[in-house]
Structure 1
Amino acid sequence: MSCRRSITLGAALFLLSAAAHALPITFSFSSTVSDVTPPLAGIAAVGDTIRGTFTFDPTALSAPSDAPGMRAIYPEAGATLTLTVGDYTARATGFYITILNDWIADGVFLGDRFIVATTAESQIDAPTVGEYAFGTFSLAVIDPTGTMLDSAAIPTDTSPFEGRSYDSAVHLGFQKPLFLNAFLGAGVRAEDVTLGTVPEPNTIALLGVSLFSLCLATRRRIPAPALPLA
């Protein structure tokens, strides 16, 4: 392999590695509806599937952490969230991620928890259902044994959630205004959450560059046939 080809391949692989760590990460999720309050029967039924994605920056640590290494809240990590159940689609901008690693509260060991949830500051884009407006989203994966997570850092892939059955749920909250600051709530609950990683477009593009460079680096030139001596 020539020096020039080695440099080309090395540069491409370096760019791919750097981009993989710098880009935001997108997780996909799916879960099975287990409960629907009557006002929302028009959008979901027991047995339906809730699907969606959420994108976040794993480096956005802003942690009012009262137990360093065990609990971290990332209120600025979440960028976008999209979910669909049946023909109903909701989108949100801004959410927080909470990581509980070997969490102990009031002397009780609660294990590990990975929580994604909207806040009062989240920007919601979703149609109303009758008089009920979409208000909140939460996703939780819970391991009471405390073996799911190794630290309070946000996982950059879904490997911590694979290979075992954890307690997990998605909840969609809706509310109907009554008077002043009083609301009537309704919700959709789903269980058995499956998480997956969605490659970012730039990462896919850089992977293509790297593979192309690899092809160039490994291609061998076929020598021309020798001319017969006079």
Structure 2
Amino acid sequence: MKWALVDGWTITRRELIHWVREPGSVLFGVAFTVLIALIFGYLLGGAMNVPGGGDYKAFLMPGMFAMNMLFGIGSTMTAIADDISKGVTDRFRSIPMSPSAVLLGRSIADMIDSVMLLTVLMLCGLAMGWQSNGSAGDTVLAIALLLLLRFAFIWIGIFCGLMAGNQAMVTAMQTMEFPVGFLSSAFIPPSTMPSWLGTIAEWNPLSSTVTAIRDLFGNPGIAADSWITQNAVLMALVWPLVLLAIFFPLAVRRYRRLSR
């Protein structure tokens, strides 16, 4: 365990050094996130109706926070596939280091990146007029739920990156982020969708987190009688744990089988 943590931090430092020396990808991620928030808040927001009334920007920003966690899957896949295609992963596997350090270091680095992007997006939301009306404890819990979701998505990204192995496949798989993200309650209430599609959107793990943090932030939310919506905070805990239980062992197993 000691060497796993030490080697994992070494891999994390490697990623941080990459960001310092090549900040383009980090800056693009920040700019893209802010741009999407501005587009929905100012260009499309005027045509959106919030259930029960209220400012659409206050309704939007919790959805944007969760979407930012989802979009991180693509960056994780890209980094993993890039190391595989360049032979870096094979080099790591050939030197005396903890086998779990590569995946552990990747997950820590991506969590640091996620905290930074979430901070920028929250500052952007505050500038747009969004604010948390919940208690300090509820606000901290909302942020913790977002980061828990991101941690689960990291392991989906690691597994998909290991499966893809090259940038072409990663690009193809990244396109799935958009239908998964839009088929949720992040931008519009599921009640505006056809009933069967709204049900799918409500059971999207992203929707549970979005609904939960809207409630915790005291922002306008959706009114629904479904069990999944009424127990959003519970499911915002359950969904990430289920995803972790599935994709963490799959990612570890796939990593061990890379050279076979």
Shorter-chain TM-score bucket reads under 0.3
TM-score (norm 1): 0.28
Larger Rg: 1
More relative contact order, 1 or 2 (CA 8 Å, 6+ apart): 2
Normalising by structure 2, we get a TM-score of 0.25
| Larger strand share, 1 or 2 | 1
